[in-house]
Amino acid sequence: SQWMATQVTEPPATKTVSFEVERPLKYGCNPHQLPAGLCSVNGGKLPFEVLSGTPGYINLLDAVNAWQLVYELGKATGKPAATSFKHVSPAGAAIGVPLSDAEVEVYEVKGKPLSPVANAYVRARNADPMCSFGDFVAISHEVDAATASILKIEVSDGIIAPSFAPEALEILKAKKGGKFIVLKADDAFVPPDMEFRM
């Protein structure tokens, strides 16, 4: 704390912002709390679009943190990347490299079509399948039907990706009776230097 005191020579400047409610959230941090709202700041654009479902606060924290991880991982490797997030922590992250015959057997995807994106998802989900139960998924590339078909049978709250093939989107929108959260990430979004949470 002494070091920090030497770094701050004057109090921070006052910052005035305006919030515009874009949509209500399912509830606050926990189900017993009053609904929260998803707001844009100073008329700015949100970094994603809700295509299906009604996200809660924790869902969105998982989604934006998971998206940053796969976005960076995909850019760094040039391969599709996926992660499984639960309570703002990654349960697994992987890139889309082919699965061995043994992995196909162990991950219970034998006979299912596997694309590079599906391989990334299967690897990420199975890094710790117990912790991935009820997770939020992020994919760095377009979600295809092969990936959506595998995700369809898993217990998961939602997914964020930059795009969805039409068949994949229909599969995901039908999950959980239409309550599965599908977010389309804006992969051109650059986070501001300062973030606001209320």
Distance, CA of 124 to CA of 119 (rounded, Å): 9
Return the structure tokens found at 197: 């949470």
Please list the residues that pair with 113 across neighbouring strands: none
Q: What is the pLDDT of residue 192?
A: 76
Q: What is the pLDDT of residue 25?
A: 84
pTM of the full structure:
0.88
Q: What is the pLDDT of residue 93?
A: 97
Q: What is the pLDDT of residue 198?
A: 65
Q: Average the pLDDT over 89-118 and give the result.
A: 97
Q: What is the pLDDT of residues 27-55, one digit of tens each?
A: 766 777 777 788 888 777 889 999 999 99
Distance, CA of 88 to CA of 42 (rounded, Å): 26
Q: What is the pLDDT of residue 27?
A: 72
Q: What are the C-alpha distances in Å from 41 to residues 20, 148, 193?
A: 7, 33, 13
Distance, CA of 143 to CA of 124 (rounded, Å): 15
Q: Average the pLDDT over 129-149 and give the result.
A: 96
Is residue 107 scored above 70 in pLDDT?
Answer: yes
Q: Average the pLDDT over 128-152 and give the result.
A: 96
- Report the Cα 134 to chain-centroid distance in Å: 13
Indicate if the alpha-carbon torsion angle 153, 89, 93, 75 is positive or negative. Answer: positive
Please list the residues that pair with 85 across neighbouring strands: 90, 136
Q: What is the pLDDT of residue 1?
A: 65
Q: What is the pLDDT of residues 144-175, one digit of tens each?
A: 999 999 999 999 999 999 999 999 999 999 99
Distance, CA of 46 to CA of 44 (rounded, Å): 7
